[in-house]
Structure 1
Amino acid sequence: MRLSPPAAALPLILAASPAMAGRPVNPFDEPDESELFRTEQELVTVASRYAQTVRQAPSIVTVVSAGDIRRSGFRTLSEVLGSLPGIYISVAKESRDLAWFRGVTSSDNNKILLLIDGVPWYDGVYGHAWIDEYLSLDQVRQVEVIKGPGSALYGTNAFAGVINVVTWDGRSLDGGFVRLKAGSDGRVGASAVFADDITVRGHALSVRAHARVLSADGDGLDTVPRGRRDVQGLDPKRAINGGMRLEFDGLSLAVDLVDYRHTYFVNEQDDVLDVLLNSPDEFALNYRNAFLAASYDVDLGPMGTVRPYLYSQRHDNPGLYGWFSNSAVEGDEAVWQTTLVETAKDSARHGVGVEASLVPAASHAVVTGVGLEAVHVLELEDRYFEDLSHEPSQPSTFSAPPGWITDAFLFGQYTWTASWWLELTAGARLDYHSYFGPFVSPRMGALFVPAESVLIKLLYGRAFRAPTARELLVEVGVDSTGANLFTNGNPGLEPEIIDTIEAELTVNPSRLIELRGAAFVSGIDQEINKSTVPDPVLGSEYYANLGGALAMGTEFEATFTSGAWEVDASYTWTEARDRETGNRIYAFPPHMAHGRIGVRPVEPLSLALLGDAYGVRPRSEWTPDSGLDDGPPYGLLHAAVAVDGIAGGRVTADLSVRNLLDTPTSILIPQEDANAVNSDGTAKYPVDIEGEGRTIQVDVEVRF
């Protein structure tokens, strides 16, 4: 759903249109009004750093501004993404939101690349991209989303899509605000954002700082997938965020801190011991993360810029959970059978490189760069403390030795504005990975502007996802029969590959209406899945490159804007199938529709009604033993109220209602559990994950 026409991040696209009012434009002569998408390893500002309307930008790029977020009542990045065509939001049993783009699914959310101000944010063990309460939307100026491959510039994980979260800066905010929020299910929070440009001894200094605290009991499950009760029905989350960025004479320094925790929310709580062992204060998954980024812009005048950069991230993600088994009797005494699990997931990610954006002539633009990224696995182990023991069981049944995973890369892209109606782009990136060696990601595209109101785009791109530390390095134990207790890592894995061809048409029949249609075909190869074919080294279950998938689809979107009214509607059809079995991709709905009606009846008041509709979600083809059916279709309504201009324009008040009608919904259980059966042949996990009911939140913001 395209909600407004702010400056768009066109350089992420293979063919970026400089056509404005039927004439060519030198992008480096245009105002620098937006922070654009960058590559995975570096902060690259590519050929089109200029303000564009959504009509002029390829519609594959969707930009959602802070105002759009407020007026739509979005609370998390996942809610923003879930309103866009072709994106479906699922949830992991660890209570982490997952974004699936165009039929490409992942249980670790590592087939999309998340950037914060152009810097990649994902952990070094699973490659997970956080899109839920881990991030604060209060610091966000706009969210830029691309559907499609991006590895030619961004490297690994830019597989099915790229998301760039652009935060406030001194040019865009010029001051600050404090925001308080309270809502359903024990949700309370407070945040503060400050950004300003000041002059120090004749030099410009830009300062940005933000802080956020959040606590939410959450709307959890009444019945867990096993069919047993969760008497508390909570999904608790706690978050503390803080950060600062300084920019001075071309030098940029940024520091961010995240302290986030949540619990597994699919564990039963039907006795007093279960309740005690699910307390979020003691038993939780924790994320204690720190991010440092630095860069320096060297201005080459009309030739462009050169930017050396580096970043360093620490992802210390410990966890703790436990359970009681049936008690045993030894002699005349009952003996507790307990299991306490300490999970150590500690890694660091480092990146260094140099990139350049050059304009050798007015109609030619070149982007190039070289760099190195390294993942350092510091500690990766699950420790089991059995039956009140003070020492963990040895050896560990889930661990990896400390080690490094490195990736050196070189990329280049050339854009030629052939005429006022045609632009051509071609580029490629070469990665050399320490485990699987070289990989090339090409891209090419053509953009046509046959008339001022018509835009046509043809694109091809290849992308990859490198295997993670979990998939490469983890060594697991075996049970009494010699079978692996968990899925073993495989250091011989190759990267997953996706090739995509896209076409898009945008037409503006009038100043009030925009119509868009797009189609894509993607072929996925070397998918990393679990193999159960016995291997003499890896055992009975391990990660392997198995088969692939084929996905194709279309999108249709219509936008109407007139005075106080804004109306947007979209429909997406996706046909995604596993190549080996021919089955439809598990749980991804082939049919999705979204709509939004916004109106400003009076100037300070904004009202919005949003709707989402999802078709049948495929499952029955994958569950011959358990007999679980496909997921039923469902629809949701949401409402939002935003009031500006209170107290002389310094105060705003917002009300958001998600799932307005309190419609019962569900997320399908993970595919790995769907066909599991009990000894009597019945489904082991017969109940799907209950969706969130109606929730209400009120925000009050004071600006200064």
Structure 2
Amino acid sequence: MMHKKLSFLALTSTIWTAAVMADGNNQFTDGDEFADFYGQDELVSIATGTSTPISKAPSVASVISSKQIEAMGATHLDEVLERIPGLHVMRSDLSRLDPVYSVRGIQTGFNPQILVLLNGTEIKQLVTGGLATTFRMPVNNISRIEVIRGPGSAVYGADAYSGVINIITKSVDENLNGSFGIRAGRFGSSDVWAQKGYQNDDFAVSFSFENLRTDGDDSRIVERDLQTINDTVFGTNASQAPGSLNTQQDITNLHLDFEFSNWRLENWYWEQDHGGLGQGGAQALDNIGYQDANQFLTKLSYKTDLGETFRIETDLSFLRTDIDTHFVLFPAGAALPIGSDGNAFSSPSAGVVRFPDGYIGKPRSISETTKYELAGLYTGFSEHQIRIASGWTYNQAETAELKNFGPGVIDGTEGSVDGTLTNVAGTKDIYLQDQERTAYFVSIQDQWQLNNDWSFTGGLRWDHFSDFGSTINPRLALVWETSHDLTTKLLYGEAFRAPSFSEQHLINNPSALGNPDLHPEEIETFELAFDYRPTFETDLKLSLYSYKATDLIATVAEGSTLKYQNARNQDGYGAELEFDWRATKQLTLFANYAYQHSEDSDTGMAVPDAPKHSTYLDLQYRLNQNWSSSLQHYWIGNRTRNSGDSRDKVDDYHWVNAKLTRSFDNKRLKFSIMVKNLFDTDAREPSSASIPGDYPLEGRSVIGELRYKF
């Protein structure tokens, strides 16, 4: 409680002091490196599909530029997103400590409720509906990140539920002056990157290479896991706990983009090589298993003007995601109760089986999405900007599996089973049969400038899916320039989240079974937002929201098994306060505070794990032309447990990062020292009761970085 009061008082005191001190005399010159992201009304396209000043955008939106990302010392996407008020990056309790982008209290283990885009194209995989497992995105080729909190299905369709994140990569212009860099630090971490662009008349090409590696922090110790419980029950000594979370990563990130006249061809390749499995696939530590994953995206786009009042944009894209995992779900020496179907802990039980080499599974999935979209923007009607779009999507997923358990492999009477794996691909005994889905949509949106002070945006999108039918999602936004320094927005929107292939069709899995009768999750959101800019150097934003989420998909017990059902509803409300202040030519400050209350509509119980309160503070200080520094602090507070979980509430934590940079040769060469988790805080993200001590985050690390532009 004391930490919460101190953090809130510190933030409000900072904002109040800044508001009193701010005046019109602290202006930056055009050449200042901070001027492009403090005190100016940036354009944002994520809210409408067209470029709109962020203060007038019909959504609660945020933009983070490449210069901000560099100044923060962020090395991957998750670190950047903590800057967004109302968004907290949790760790999945279901999927190998994968990032879960909790927005306004809405999250689940596979994170399907938020839409993640790369240059406007979705990059999520089809089996779980989330990002590729063990996903981590390097940031050196990111130009800007646009985020909206709240529904976006009227523009983007499925899964733009709690929000949308659009990662925009650097253009050819931004990479014309090439650059490369290297960083290294604790935990065996090393990153290298290089970018270069070339342009000649109507032709241009841009290339980026990034590699991010880490051995992981072996001091992230788990004292007890699920196998600890099994050892007690069955008299074995197989658990690897106490032991460290398996968090090594080796990520390669490539971009190759071509531009010719009105055409653009984008190519992206991302690969995870032998990534660690975090807490293990079954809440039992696994220091043998690993994750291989790769994604390839290619997109051909064309834009042209037909006269002075009509613009056409069209694109054709193909995304392939290949995930290949080696699980040692329970370690060598484990003894497990095996059901007659060959799965652990299933009913009826056929006997206790020992696994001297471990309980091993090797599932693989290949997801492919082909998408075509056509959009037209018409400005021929006075004070109207009308956008009409239509598109088609084809999704398919192919699966394979090897294992030493389950139907078609064992039946629980064996007594002991070694590590020999049986290939069940193409049989009824696989965890998921091959699946496909076709969808198409039509949408219309009108941005109407009612008069000098008032604008109205109305939009409607109809989506049809071959497996569960149709859905219609509207959005309405009224934006009022209340005065020369205040903008007020009243927003309403609806959104949906499509059930994933796993939720619909999972079979032969003791943890859960699919349900082909599922229908989409839906949400209805009201927002009231204020953007107050009393001076050119000061920007104060306040967003108030309320939502009602229905038909949320969860597992429900049916006899001795769990099955996915549209099982619950959720209500939420909250507030988000942001403050930007350019105090002097040397000092800038960004701060925010977010409050959210979310509860189960039927029971009134608080939604577990999501922070009720959070704050963020970013100080940028330039000592002189050659020296600059930054400090980030965020606080995560007041997280509750699941109903029935007798553990104490999840501990609050403070997290501090710092960076010091020395520039040479007119800022072409930069050397930086960064410290992550400056005070070596014992910070933890919530876990299930199978790992009772929660998931420890990384300890303090010191990183050296060298950047050069040529």
Range class of TM-score, shorter chain: 0.7 to 0.9
Q: 2:554 aligns with which of 525, 529, 548?
A: 529
The yes-or-no answer on 1:560 pairing with 2:581 is yes
Change (3 A) 1:83 1:442: same
Say if 1:436 and 1:493, in contact at 8 Å, map to a contact too.
Answer: yes
Match of 1:543 among 551, 557, 564: 564
1: CA distance, partners of 2:661 / 2:144: 18
Counterpart of 2:377 (choices 357, 370, 375) is 357
Question: Aligned partner of 2:278: which letter?
Answer: F
Corresponding residue for 1:468?
500
> Does the Cα contact within 8 Å between 2:152 and 2:163 map onto a contact in 1?
yes
Name stretches of at least 5 consecutive residues in structure 2 with no aligned partner.
1-10, 12-35, 229-239, 337-353, 406-416
Aligned to 1:325: 333
SS of corresponding position for 2:503: helix
Does the alignment pair 1:423 with 2:436? no
Shift of 1:234: 4.8
Residue 171 of structure 1 aligns to a residue whose secondary structure is: helix
- The offset of 1:122, in angstroms, is 0.7
Q: What do the CA deviations read for 1:349-372 (whole angstroms, capped 9, x no partner)? A: 110121112212341101111111
Q: C-alpha displacement at 1:602, in angstroms?
A: 0.5
* Deviation readout 1:558-587 (Å, 9 max, x if unpaired): 222132111122111111101122111111
Alignment of 1:104-503 (within 5 A): 104-129=106-131, 134-199=136-201, 204-220=202-218, 221-226=220-225, 229-231=241-243, 234-261=246-273, 262-267=275-280, 278-279=287-288, 283-322=289-328, 323-326=331-334, 336=356, 338-379=358-399, 381=401, 383-384=403-404, 386-392=417-423, 398-476=430-508, 485-503=510-528
**What residue in structure 2 maps to residue 507 of structure 1?**
532
CA shift at 1:134, angstroms?
2.9
1:458, 1:207 → 2: CA distance? 42
- Tell me if 1:703 matches 2:709: yes
Could you tell me the TM-score, scaled by structure 2's length? 0.83
Deviation, structure 1 residue 57? 5.6
For residue 542 of structure 1, report the CA deviation from its aligned partner. Answer: 0.8
TM-score, normalization by structure 1 = 0.84
Report the Cα distance in structure 2 between the residues aligned to 1:638 and 1:86, rounded to whole angstroms. 20
For 1:372-417, what per-residue CA distance to the aligned partner results, in whole angstroms no more than 9, with x for missing partners? 1121012254633651325347977552222311111111101111
Amino acid at match of 1:599: Y
Partner residue of 1:480?
none
How far off its partner does 1:425 sit? Answer: 0.8
Q: Structure 2 counterpart of 1:442, which letter?
A: P
Contact 2:77 2:136 in 1 (8 A): no
Contact kept, 8 Å, 1:409 with 1:429, in 2: the verdict is yes
Is the 1:3–1:568 Cα contact (8 Å) retained in structure 2?
Answer: no
State the secondary structure of the residue aligned to 1:361.
Answer: coil
Provide the rounded CA distance (Å) in 2 between the counterparts of 1:667 and 1:335: 31
Q: CA-to-partner distance for each residue in 1:487-528, whole Å, 9 max, x for gaps? A: 111111000001100011111222232222110001000100
The residue type paired with residue 580 of structure 2 is: T
Are residue 73 (structure 1) and residue 73 (structure 2) matched?
yes
Contact 1:169–1:206 (Cα < 8 Å) also in 2: no
Is the alpha carbon distance of 1:352 and 1:335 closer, same or farther for their aligned partners in structure 2, counting shifts above 3 Å? Answer: closer
Work out the number of aligned pairs and report it. Answer: 626
Match of 1:635 in 2: 654
Structure 2 letter corresponding to 1:207:
V
Post-superposition offset of 1:233 = 5.4
Secondary structure of 1:400 counterpart: coil
- CA distance in structure 1 between the aligned counterparts of 2:503 and 2:402, rounded to whole angstroms: 15
Tell me if structure 2 keeps the 8 A contact 1:112–1:129.
no
Deviation at 1:130, TM superposition (A): 5.9
Structure 2 residue matching 1:137: 3-state secondary structure: coil
Aligned-partner Cα distance in 2 for 1:513–1:500: 29
Q: What CA distance in whole angstroms lies between the structure 2 residues aligned with 1:206 and 1:543?
A: 49
Cα distance in 1, alignment partners of residues 310 and 206 from structure 2: 26
Tell me how far apart the structure 2 counterparts of residues 105 and 3 of structure 1 sit (CA, whole Å). Answer: 30
Deviation (angstroms), 1:623: 4.3
Deviation (angstroms), 1:166: 1.0
Aligned-partner residue type, residue 527 of structure 1: L
Question: Could you tell which deviates more after superposition, 91-100 or 5-14?
Answer: 5-14
Structure 1: where are the runs of 5+ without partners?
15-44, 329-333, 478-484, 675-683
Report the Cα offset of residue 298 of structure 1.
2.6
Provide, for residues 71-92 of structure 1, a one-character-per-residue CA deviation record: whole Å limited to 9, x for no partner.
1111111111112211111112
Secondary structure, aligned partner of 2:70: helix
SS of equivalent residue, structure 2 residue 155? helix
Question: Which range is displaced more, 512-521 or 354-363?
Answer: 354-363
SS of 1:152's equivalent? helix
- SS of 1:360's partner is coil
Are the equivalent residues in 2 in contact too, given 1:76–1:132 (CA < 8 A)? no
- Deviation sequence 1:638-695 (CA, Å, 0-9, x none): 1122333x134321222221111001111110xxx34xxxxxxxxx432111122112
The change in CA–CA distance for 1:56 and 1:319 in structure 2 (over 3 A counts) is same
Aligned partners of 2:378 and 2:385 also within 8 Å:
yes
Within 2, Cα distance between the matches of 1:635 and 1:327?
A: 41
Q: 1:631 to 1:397 in 2, by over 3 A?
A: farther
- Tell whether the 8 Å contact from 2:86 to 2:594 is kept in structure 1 after alignment: yes
- C-alpha distance 663-134 of structure 1, shift in aligned 2 (>3 A): closer
Which one is further off, 300-309 or 512-521? 300-309
Counterpart check, 1:662 vs 2:696: no
- Residue aligned with 2:638, SS: coil
**Which amino acid letter does the alignment assign opposite residue 617 of structure 1?**
R
CA RMSD, 1 decimal: 2.6
Secondary structure, aligned partner of 2:504: helix
Partners of 2:438 and 2:401 in 1: CA distance: 21
CA distance, structure 1, for counterparts of residue 157 and residue 320 of structure 2:
20
